Amino acid sequence: MILLVIPGVALAIVSIAAFAGGLVWWLDLLANFRPQYVVGLALFGLAIVMTRFRKIGYAVLAVGALNLAVVLPLYLGSPAQASPDQPNLTVMSFNLLSSNESYSEVLEYIESVDPDLVLLHEASRPWEVAVESSDLDYDEVIRPRSDNLIFGTLVLVRGLDIEAVSYGFDLSSPRAVQLTYTPHGWDSPISVLGTHPVAPTDRERAGLRDAQLEFAGEWAADQSGAFFVVGDFNATPWSAPFRQLMGAAELNNSQSGFGLQPTFSTESFTLLRVPIDHLVHSPALEVTDRQLGPSLASDHFPLIVTLQPTP
């Protein structure tokens, strides 16, 4: 039975240590797996309770309940009721994967979903050519990357008075693009920050990712009215920089009420996937629908969110 106790206690310790992710970068990586901790600790805890180490089993279950308390808010609440009197805005954010060459498949999917705003992350020059030569119906196609970079975020948008500002997409830049425009049918303009922080695969890159999400938080804190931040954050809702972003301004997570909806990695077993693609928004907006699309040869699922003004 000790073979159950040792891994159960070790998993409980790891999940508690992950709360210190704001202090140590690799602990923050461990914080991304809260749902997996819930399942693992529940299984170990229940099994240990059936042995003579009952008290340890209850302790493991208690730590599992702590992790559940962190995950559960994503399931609380319900989507806003779509109002026929309010205009809608459907946003699609999709990390294409740098090696993806399924141009026609992705473009056909965009045409079928018909989102009003599309952000394609890790888009290279061939993707820009494919989009610009397609029959997709958008008022503007915006390429925020500079010529010296291979990849950036490609933006397709419908609206009036569109203004775009790129903050740069090299490793040390904010890796973000700002849009200010009035969507068709809307009475007032909205502001959007599309962002794609780097993946925190080592200490240096984790620091860059944190700084890039901090920039997004500062941007949000300077906004008013209807605005949102959207993209591949390379962080889950339980990650320290994500929580700091949410605390930097009055923001709502579009994921609330829709559950986990893990977007990465499409190549992983379902239970091992994590939600790192997000849309967080101001109280002036509410979410009427949120769903994931097919993988389309990427390691991410597309995120599709429908927003409307808060009555």
Full-model pTM? 0.95
Say what the pLDDT of residue 311 is: 86
pLDDT at residue 77 in the model: 83
User: How do residues 211-252 score in pLDDT, each as one tens digit?
Assistant: 999 999 999 999 999 999 999 999 999 999 999 999 999 999
> Do residues 152 and 167 lie in contact, with contact meaning Cβ atoms separated by under 8 Å?
no
Question: 127: left (phi > 0), else alpha (psi -120 to 50), else beta?
Answer: alpha
User: Residue 82: its pLDDT value, please?
Assistant: 84
Q: How far apart are CA 288 and CA 88, in angstroms?
A: 9
pLDDT tens, 143-192?
999 888 999 999 999 999 999 999 999 999 999 999 999 999 999 999 99
Q: What does the alpha-carbon distance between residue 284 and residue 238 come to, in Å, rounded to a whole number?
A: 24
Position 259 pLDDT exceeds 80: yes
Indicate whether 80 pLDDT > 90.
no
Question: Does the pLDDT of residue 4 top 90, yes or no?
Answer: no
CA geometry: angle 279, 283, 122, nearest 5 deg: 15
- Domains recognised in the chain with CATH numbers: 2-75 (no CATH), 89-309 (3.60.10.10)
Rounded to the nearest 5 percent, the helix, strand and coil shares of the chain are 35, 25, 40
CA distance 82 to 289: 9
**CA nearest neighbour of 171 among 145, 192, 191:** 145
Helix axis angle for 54-71 and 34-49, nearest 10°, is 160
Interval 184-202 mean pLDDT: 97
Burial level of 199, CB count in 10 A (0-12/13-18/19+)? middle
